[in-house]
């Protein structure tokens, strides 16, 4: 076994993709009585938005046939009548890679509406400061399907972003995805039936708390990907409910999350300074927590810029409650590992680590304390990735350490 990520298991992955291409779930929203005229009013309102504009949307179901966009205007608020009351349906969308694309709009607020069934990403906000996303629902209404758009709520290249009391369902990549951003609060949201429930990627200073992530392939992910201008670090994941994220992986092969094993609770990949505490994590069938390096993701080394740091460092896992999980991991190799080490009814320990460490940083054969993976209150399985998974072992004692608590993220609004 060269990896416990799914990508390396090529034959298995191919088989899996075939299974994953089918559609699951019910019918999409019935639009028979939906309004088709309001879209023109809304498009004009977005084109004509001025600094300080408040665009109020009435209750109702509105068919939108092309991607909406707001660009280069500050202090705009878009407000509906509620995330179940004001529905923008893109089920008949003809053009546009997003449902709503917001570009270079500082002090932007969107609240109390739903974006459904967009062809691509539902709500993408890029290059903006001071962004509030509140009580927004993004959903693909036919359930988890590879046919769904990639991201639900998707701020990228933003500074000071708050996502709260929102709902993300059915994204074929991540339901709530914060990318390449700084100063982030994601709280009290619900993410379900996405490949990744909530994902923080290449971002700095994020607090993810009070959320419910369930029925995703992976619940909460903290990622770094190579070749981007900004590596991320500094995330707190706390007081979340992360349970039964066992939905088959229906992502598109080639996307980073398509390799995430079904049944992953919390996953940290190649990211540093992550504190995971006070969460209630249960019944995620591969492992409740996975800590891994890009080495485990099965990508070509040729395609990684040489300055990329693939090692997760200063990870601190403590004060969580774990229950169940690890009993039926995704992938034959992990399944074999489980049975070999823990018996036919045994389970993968709550923290599964691929075992990669930066050899350049070793001192006397060990990582300095301030770089280590520290775990208390859970068992740790070191899968021995560097040894080609030849000597996996429970290594809980080696992670009996702690890091300074990270400070809370403060938003200026």
Partner 1 sequence: MKRAIALLAAALALAACGNDAANTPPASAPVDMAAWDNDPAFHTSGNPARLEDWGQFRIEGERLVLAQGVTPYALNTALFSDYALKLRTVWLPDGAQPAQWHDDETFDFPVGTVITKTFYYPRTAGSFDAVALELDPNAHFDGAALDLSAVRLIETRILVRREEGWAAIPYVWNDDQRSTRLARSGAFVDLTLLEAGGRSQALAYQVPDVNQCAQCHVTDASDGEIRPIGPRARHLNGDYPYADGEQNQLDHWRAAGLLTGGPQADAAPRNAVWHGELELSGLALEGAARAYIDINCAHCHSRTGHARTSGLYLEPADPAGPGLGVCKPPIAAGRGTGNRRYSIVPGDSHASIFTFRMESLRADAMMPELGRSVAHEEGVALVARWIDAMAGGC
The residues of the shown chain that bind partner 1, judged by CB under 8 A, are: 7, 17, 32, 36-37, 40, 43-44, 46-47, 63, 65-67, 69-72, 92-97, 101, 103-104, 119-121, 126-127, 146, 149-151, 154, 156-157, 172-173, 177, 179-180, 201, 225-229, 252-256, 258, 297, 299-300, 302-305
Write down the least CB distance from residue 26 to partner 1, Å.
20
As a whole number of angstroms, the distance between CA 389 and CA 392 comes to 6
Q: Nearest distance from residue 329's CB to partner 1, in Å?
A: 23
* Residue 315: both structure tokens together: 């990870």
CA distance linking residue 334 with residue 343, whole number of Å: 13
Shortest Cβ 115–partner 1 spacing (Å): 14
- Candidates 304, 311, 228; CA nearest to 269 is 311
Residue 384, by phi and psi: left (phi above 0), alpha (psi -120 to 50) or beta?
Answer: left
Quick check: helix, strand or coil at residue 119?
coil
Taking the complex as a whole, the smallest distance from the CB of residue 150 to partner 1 amounts, in Å, to: 3
Q: Is 58 helix (H, G, I), strand (E, B) or coil?
A: coil
Of 108 and 154, the one with the shorter C-beta distance to partner 1 is 154
Tell me the closest approach of the beta carbon of residue 172 to partner 1, in angstroms. Answer: 6
Q: How far is the CB of 223 from partner 1 (least distance, A)?
A: 10
What is the torsional sign of CA 253, 246, 225, 374?
Answer: negative
State the minimum distance, in angstroms, from the CB of residue 168 to partner 1: 14
Burial class (CB in 10 A: 0-12, 13-18, 19+), 275: buried
Nearest distance from C-beta of residue 225 to partner 1, angstroms: 5
Smallest CA-to-CA distance from 221 within 281, 170, 290, 161 is with 290
Alpha helices (H) in 30-137, listed in sequence order: 38-47
Q: Is the dihedral of CA 100, 94, 139, 21 positive or negative?
A: negative
- The full DSSP string for 292-360 is E-GGGGT--GGGS-TT------SEEEES-EEES--SS-SSHHHHHHHHHHH-TT----SEEE-----GG
């Amino acid at each position: 076994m060269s990896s416990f990520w799914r990508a390396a298991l090529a034959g298995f992955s191919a088989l899996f993709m075939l299974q994953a291409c089918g559609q699951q779930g019910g019918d999409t929203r019935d639009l028979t009585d939906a309004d088709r005229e309001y879209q023109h009013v809304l498009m004009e309102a977005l084109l004509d938005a001025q600094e300080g504009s408040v665009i109020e949307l009435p209750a109702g179901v509105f068919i939108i046939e092309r991607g909406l966009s707001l660009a280069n205007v500050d202090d705009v608020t878009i407000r509906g009548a509620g995330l179940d009351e004001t529905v923008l349906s893109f089920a008949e969308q003809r053009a546009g890679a997003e449902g709503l694309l917001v570009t270079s709009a500082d002090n932007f607020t969107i609240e109390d509406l739903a974006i459904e069934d967009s062809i691509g990403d539902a709500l993408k906000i890029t290059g903006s400061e001071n962004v509030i996303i509140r009580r927004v629902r993004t959903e693909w209404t036919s359930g988890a399907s590879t046919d769904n758009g990639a991201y639900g709520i998707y701020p990228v290249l933003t500074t000071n972003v708050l996502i709260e009391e929102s709902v993300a369902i059915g994204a074929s990549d991540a339901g709530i995805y914060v990318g390449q951003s700084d100063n982030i609060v994601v709280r009290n949201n619900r993410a379900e039936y996405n490949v990744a429930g909530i994902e923080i990627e290449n971002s700095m200073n994020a607090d993810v708390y009070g959320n419910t992530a369930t029925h995703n392939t992976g619940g909460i992910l903290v990622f770094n990907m190579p070749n981007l201008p900004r590596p991320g670090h500094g995330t707190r994941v706390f007081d979340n409910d992360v349970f039964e994220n066992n939905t088959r992986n229906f992502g598109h092969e080639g996307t980073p999350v398509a390799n995430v094993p079904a049944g992953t609770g919390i996953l940290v990949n190649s990211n540093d300074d992550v504190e995971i505490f006070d969460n209630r994590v249960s019944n995620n069938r591969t492992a409740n927590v996975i800590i891994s390096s890009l080495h485990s993701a099965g990508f070509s080394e040729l395609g990684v810029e040489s300055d990329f740091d693939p090692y997760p460092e200063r990870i601190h896992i403590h004060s969580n409650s774990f229950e169940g999980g690890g009993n039926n991991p995704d992938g034959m190799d992990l399944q074999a590992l489980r049975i070999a080490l823990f018996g036919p009814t045994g389970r993968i320990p709550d923290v599964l680590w691929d075992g990669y460490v930066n050899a350049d940083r070793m001192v006397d054969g060990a990582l300095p304390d301030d770089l280590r993976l520290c775990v208390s209150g859970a068992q740790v399985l070191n899968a021995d990735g560097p040894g080609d998974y030849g000597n996996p072992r429970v290594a809980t004692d080696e992670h009996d350490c702690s890091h300074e608590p990270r400070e809370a993220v403060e938003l200026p609004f």
